[in-house]
């Protein structure tokens, strides 16, 4: 039978994990993120972490900008585009509807143009420009980024768990300096475009004096907001970024590359979580050759993971007999992720290794 227990064949694959300590010992780490390639378990661990923190009495928001609505799937509730939805006591989940934010963003630009130039309706050429600008990926990212900033700067929660999209995109979001630059240049370009239309508009509505500084003031306000948010997200004190990987050669290679890249962007890496480890208990059983081969392969990769990532691995999570959806499954994952031997969860076992790996920073 497949059990939910982590394999305990040696000291570093014990049933206890350091993830609880990593959060508990650093209570100022309010922003928690799991990064990694597609489908490895980011949403699963985000939900489990949010659930565990909420159970510790912390007010938690787990949120995503993923159009796939994966939080809706895992919590088995339609939360897409509905603002923060309460899941259980202390736990809220939110899925941002990025498309809606882009539409709102367009409306805002339209309204500003109308106000500034005192027009009744947006001239066709400006409307074309707004449409074209909004279709660009950078604009989409800006709208998403802005809504993330909105959530984070409001400060309504003790913890924010940002359920990220797969690595490539996540890196893009996280390389705040880059996003920030594109944002500003996009707006600056828009501002220049507006200047071009200034004349046209002035001709259309002669009596209105255009206040050029109004947009610049707006820009500076936005710049301040983005600066504040990017500081938070690359703040070693406040942010914990964990990598999710599985015991497979390519994934380990990619993860190490990504970790180097993240370190360059100054994203503080808190450690690694290894997911989908085939339960050691299977070894004693009469498993088919196919599965035995998979287990052998994993064993080699787990050795490699221990050798290269060592004490920065904060938890090992087994492959379950089914996918992780619904609160009981989330609880099972949380029990294993946060089994630090201090009791509380079904996964809590020996406290023997609770000190190992503390304060480890993979991105040193």
- Residues of the shown chain interacting with Mg ion in the complex, contacts defined by CB under 5 A: 42-43, 70
40 binds, among ligand ATP, Mg ion, none (CB under 5 to 8 A by kind): ligand ATP
Nearer to ligand ATP, 41 or 357 (CB): 41
The answer to whether residue 173 forms part of the interface with ligand ATP (CB under 6 A) is no
Q: Does 168 bind ligand ATP (CB under 6 A)?
A: no
Tell which residue, 159, 43, 20, 153, has the closest CA to residue 92. 159
Q: Rounded to the nearest whole angstrom, what is the least distance from the CB of residue 267 to ligand ATP in the complex?
A: 17
Selection from 13, 114, 7 nearest residue 353 by Cα:
13
166's contact among Mg ion, ligand ATP, none, with CB below 5 to 8 A by partner kind, is ligand ATP
The closest of 40, 45, 78 to 62, measured between CA atoms, is: 45
For 2-123, strand residue ranges (E) read 31-35, 60-64, 85-88, 91-95
Alpha-carbon separation of residue 190 from 24, 113, 215, 256 (angstroms): 45, 11, 10, 39
CA distances from 284 to 22, 280, 281, 287, 292 (A): 33, 8, 6, 8, 11
Pairing of strands 239-245, 85-88: unpaired
Interface with ligand ATP in residues 94-133 (CB under 6 A)? none
Q: How far is the CB of 70 from Mg ion (least distance, A)?
A: 4
Q: Which of 70, 90, 239, 255 binds ligand ATP (CB under 6 A)?
A: 70
**How many chain residues interact with ligand ATP (CB under 6 A)?**
17
Q: Torsions phi, psi of 102, nearest 5? A: -65, -40
- Using CB under 6 A, which residues numbered 303 to 342 contact ligand ATP? 317, 319-320, 323-324
Helix, strand, coil shares, percent, the chain, to 5: 55, 15, 35
Residue indicated by tokens 């946060």? 338
Evaluate whether 245 touches 272 at the Cβ level (below 8 Å): yes
Nearest approach in angstroms of CB 36 to ligand ATP is 6
* Residue 41 binds ligand ATP (CB under 6 A): yes
- Residue 41 binds which entry of ligand ATP, Mg ion, none, with Cβ cut-offs from 5 to 8 Å by kind? ligand ATP
Asked if 198 interacts with ligand ATP (CB under 6 A), we say no
CA distance 355 to 261: 28
Give whichever of 53 and 65 is closer to Mg ion, judged by the CB atom. 65
**Per CB under 6 A, 349 contacts ligand ATP:** no
* Binding window for ligand ATP (CB under 6 A); candidates: 38-46, 76-84, 183-191, 227-235: 38-46
Task: Establish if 14 lies at the interface with ligand ATP (CB under 6 A).
Answer: no
Q: Which of 43, 49, 147, 354 binds ligand ATP (CB under 6 A)?
A: 43
Partner that binds at residue 38, options ligand ATP, Mg ion, none, CB closer than 5 to 8 Å by kind: ligand ATP
Q: Which of 166, 310, 326, 344 forms a contact with ligand ATP (CB under 6 A)?
A: 166
Query: CB-wise, 33 or 194, nearer to Mg ion?
Result: 33
Q: Read out DSSP for 95-158?
A: E--HHHHHHHHHHHHHHHHHHHHT-SS--HHHHHHHHHHHHSHHHHHHHHHHHHHHHHHH---S
Which residues lie near ligand ATP (CB under 6 A)?
36, 38-44, 70, 166, 275-276, 317, 319-320, 323-324
């Amino acid at each position: 039978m497949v059990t939910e227990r982590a394999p305990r064949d040696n000291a570093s694959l014990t049933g206890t994990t350091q993830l609880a300590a990593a959060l508990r010992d650093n209570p100022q780490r309010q922003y928690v993120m799991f990064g990694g390639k597609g489908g490895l378990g980011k949403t699963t661990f985000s939900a489990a972490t949010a659930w565990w923190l909420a159970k510790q009495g912390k007010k938690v928001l787990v949120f995503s900008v993923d159009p796939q609505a994966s939080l809706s799937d895992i919590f088995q509730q339609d939360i897409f585009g509905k603002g923060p939805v309460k899941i259980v006591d202390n736990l809220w989940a939110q899925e941002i509807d990025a498309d809606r934010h882009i539409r709102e963003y367009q409306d805002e630009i339209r309204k500003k143009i109308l106000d500034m130039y005192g027009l009744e309706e947006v001239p066709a050429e400006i409307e074309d420009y707004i449409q074209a600008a909004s279709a660009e990926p950078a604009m989409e990212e800006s709208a998403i980024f802005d809504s993330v900033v909105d959530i984070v700067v409001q400060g309504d929660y003790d913890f924010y768990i940002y359920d990220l999209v797969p690595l490539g995109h996540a890196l893009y979001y996280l390389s705040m300096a880059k996003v920030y630059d594109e944002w500003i240049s996009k707006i600056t370009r828009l501002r220049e475009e507006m200047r071009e239309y200034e004349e046209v508009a002035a001709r259309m509505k002669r009596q209105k004096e255009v206040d050029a500084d109004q947009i610049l003031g707006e820009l500076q306000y936005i710049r301040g907001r983005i600066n504040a948010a990017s500081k938070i997200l690359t703040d070693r004190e406040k942010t914990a970024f964990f990598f999710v990987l599985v015991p497979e050669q390519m994934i380990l290679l990619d993860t190490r590359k990504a970790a180097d890249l993240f370190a360059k962007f100054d994203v503080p890496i808190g450690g690694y979580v290894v997911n989908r480890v085939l339960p050691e208990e299977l070894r004693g059983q009469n498993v088919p050759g196919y599965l035995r081969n998979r287990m052998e392969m994993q064993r080699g990769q787990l050795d490699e993971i221990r050798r290269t990532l060592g004490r920065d691995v904060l938890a090992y999570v087994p492959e379950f007999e089914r996918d992780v959806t619904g609160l009981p499954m989330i609880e099972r994952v949380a029990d294993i992720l946060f089994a630090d031997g201090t009791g509380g969860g079904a996964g809590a076992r020996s406290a023997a290794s609770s000190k190992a790996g503390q304060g480890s920073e993979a991105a040193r």
